Amino acid sequence: MMTMRGFLVGLCLLISMPSGVIAAQAVGGRKPPPPGNRYLFVVENSSSMQARDEAVQEALFDLVHSGARGQMESGDTFGVWTFNSTVDTRFPMQTWDSANRLNLSARVNIFLRNQGYKRRSRLDAVVADVHTVAKSVDQLTVFFLLDGLDRMAGTPFDSEINDMFKDLSQGAARSKAPILMGLRAEKGEFTAYSVVPSGEQLTLPPLPRRIPPSQPVVKVNQTAIAATPPRRVAPIIMTRDGSTTDPEALTARPAPPESQGGQAPATRSVDQPSSQAPVQPAEKSPQPVPSPGTNGLLAKVTAGIPTPVPQSRSNVIRTNRTDTGLAGKGMATNLNVVRVIKTTAPVVETPPNPPEPASSPEPIVPPVVPPAVSSTV
C-alpha cells in the first residue's frame, strides 16, 4: 500500500504543474485507448465524508498506483467519478501504465481535492449510471469508496451488501476511514461483489489475462527461398597402387570384354560330369630284365619292392599333387602313372594298403669261379 509520504510527494509534483498543462494532458489530442480491461473508481463526496478526506485520498491514490491491487495491466483503461446527490463524470478516461503510475495517481488525487464535500449521497443513482456503462462493454470492474450509511439498490446482491454495510459502517466512522466495495459486471450484468474495510484486499475473481495481439503474417515467396539440394559427395576409393579413384569414373567403366576364342573369363571351376569314355588304367609295365653283367644282383634287389596294383575307377582319388618333389631329391619313385579323370561315379577314398614288411636283403654271394681246366694232359 502506498504510504502517506509517497502520496504527498506525488501530490506536490502535480501542484507545481500549471492546471492548463494537466487539462491538456488529460483531454487534448489523445488517441483512442488500446483494447483492454475497463476499470472505474467511484468516490462518495457527500458532507458525511469530509471528516475522512485524508483517508479517502490515500485509499484512492493506492488503488490507482497499485493497479487495483495488482489486477490492472499496462494498456487497461480507467475513469474516476464522484457522487453525492448528483454524479460527476468529468474526469477523462485514462490509460494505465506501470511506468507512469505515480503521475496518474497524483493527477487523480488533485481532481478529487478540487471536488470538495457537500450535500447528501444517493447511492442508487450512481449504481444506475454504472449499470448503463456496464451494458456498453464486455466487462467492467468498479471500486467504490463510501461511508456505508446509504442502502444499496440495483444489483442481485443488494441484501448481502446492505448487511455488510451495517456491520462495517460504525467501525469505519470511528476510524474515519471509508468502506471499500467492488462490483464486477460482465456483458451488462453484475456477477460478483466484495465489501471490506479500506486497506484490505477485495475478493473479486481475477480477470483473465489479455492475449497480446498476434503479429501479422508475412507471406514469403517460397520459390525465392527454396534451397537447392546439396550435391552428393561420393566416397574416395583408394586402389592397391595407392592412387585415388574417382567413383563417378568407376560407375561409368565398361564391362570387361570376353576372352579370345569365345570363352568366358576365368572363374572358379566346378567339376561337371564328363562325356568322354573313361580311360582304362595303364597296363602293368614289364619288369626290367637284368643284364648278364649284373649277375642277377639287380633282380634280387628289386624283387623286394612291391608291385603297384592298378586302381579301379572307384579307387581313383582326384588330387593335384605330383611326385616331382621326390624325384628332385634323387629318390626312387614309381613311374607307373594313372590318369585322373572326371567321372560322375562317387569317389570313395580307400584306406591305404598296409606296408609290407621289408624283406631283408639276401647276402651277396660272390660267384664261384670254376677252376681252370688245363688243356694239357
Dihedral sign from CA coordinates of 332, 338, 339, 343: negative
pLDDT digits (tens, 9 = 90+) for 314-331: 444 444 444 444 444 444
Across the chain, mean pLDDT equals: 71
Domain membership flag for residue 362: no
The reported pTM is 0.51
CATH number assigned to the domain comprising residue 51: 3.40.50
- pLDDT value of position 218: 58
Q: Cell numbers 463510501 correspond to what residue?
A: 146
Count: domains in the chain: 1
d(CA 194, CA 228): 65
- pLDDT value of position 150: 93
Domain membership flag for residue 232: no
Query: Which range of residues forms the domain containing residue 112?
Result: 4-15+37-197
Domain membership flag for residue 57: yes
Strand partners, 110: none
d(CA 233, CA 255): 24
Domain membership flag for residue 105: yes
Residue 292 per-residue DSSP state: G
Residue 156's pLDDT band, with cuts at 50, 70 and 90, is very high
Domain membership flag for residue 274: no
Domain membership flag for residue 109: yes
Rounded mean pLDDT, 24-29:
42
Is the pLDDT score of 45 beyond 50? yes
Domain membership flag for residue 126: yes
d(CA 157, CA 352): 122
- pLDDT value of position 139: 93
Domain membership flag for residue 11: yes
